[in-house]
A and B are shown apart, each in its own frame.
Chain A
Amino acid sequence: DTGVSQDPRHKITKRGQNVTFRCDPISEHNRLYWYRQTLGQGPEFLTYFQNEAQLEKSRLLSDRFSAERPKGSFSTLEIQRTEQGDSAMYLCASSFMTGRGYNEQFFGPGTRLTVL
């Protein structure tokens, strides 16, 4: 039973550098979500894809952030010109959307980003 996987699990970078994270969803799931979580807070929604189409972006997703899901499979989240405020856990989740709107999201282990 393979769940959602994320790579890398930890990333330390210097301010101003670009970083890219990868998420592999549960294979039969058609929706993929990105969230960000800081210490003591719940996850905050960033963006989501249905198949390869990016359907929504949160106002939290600044121009320095870009996400892709080529071919509707894995997804990447890139942060350009990282800032110390970008330090957080980046979580990926996937779900299978049906006509009933059934939408339980299953999360990966997260990528912890530290910007020095």
Chain B
Amino acid sequence: EDQVTQSPEALRLQEGESSSLNCSYTVSGLRGLFWYRQDPGKGPEFLFTLYSAGEEKEKERLKATLTKKESFLHITAPKPEDSATYLCAVMYSGGGADGLTFGKGTHLIIQP
């Protein structure tokens, strides 16, 4: 069973069409949930860290929220340059020490 599940696998939006990406996790003892953006052929780029349920963080058109079992990445009025794969990862007690456990990502395409 996957410990981190992201949905949808792929999402195509029109420019300006807001939406949300989901990351659900089954691990216990969450120490942190991380969102990254990855462009093709490049390493992941750090976006946000969330530590506890109810926490929210914002950066430009992106807003990340966290509940006890899932996180959402809200994208408001996206632009074509927001097209990328968005990865969610968790760090938890009893996991690979401080290694991150990643989901498979959501491939987001924003059409002009």
Contact = CB atoms under 8 A, between A and B. Distances in A.
A56 B96 contact: yes
Contact of A48 (B34, B41, B97, B103): B97
Among A101, A104, A105, chain B packs the most CB atoms within 10 A around the CB of A105
Interface string B67-85: 0000000000000000000
A42 B105 contact: yes
Contact of A106 (B46, B97, B103, B104): B46
A101 B98 CA distance: 9
Interface in B11-58: 31-32, 34, 36, 41-46, 49
Nearest to A6: B43
Contact of B42 (A33, A45, A101, A109): A109
Contact of A104 (B31, B34, B41): B34
Nearest to B97: A56
B105 A33 contact: no
Interface string A78-104: 000000000000010101010001011
A105 B100 contact: yes
B104 A41 contact: yes
Place the interface of chain A in its size category.
20 to 34
Given A43-B44, A107-B43, A48 B99 contact: yes
Contact of A43 (B42, B46, B91, B100): B100
Contact of A107 (B45, B49, B105): B45
Given A42-B87, A103-B32, A104-B49, A110 B42 contact: yes
B97 A55 contact: yes
B34 A110 contact: no
B99 to A, nearest CB: 3
Among A41, A42, A56, chain B packs the most CB atoms within 10 A around the CB of A42
Interface of B: 4, 31-32, 34, 36, 41-46, 49, 87, 89, 91, 96-105
Interface of A: 4, 31, 33, 35, 40-46, 48, 55-56, 58, 91, 93, 95, 97, 101, 103-110, 112
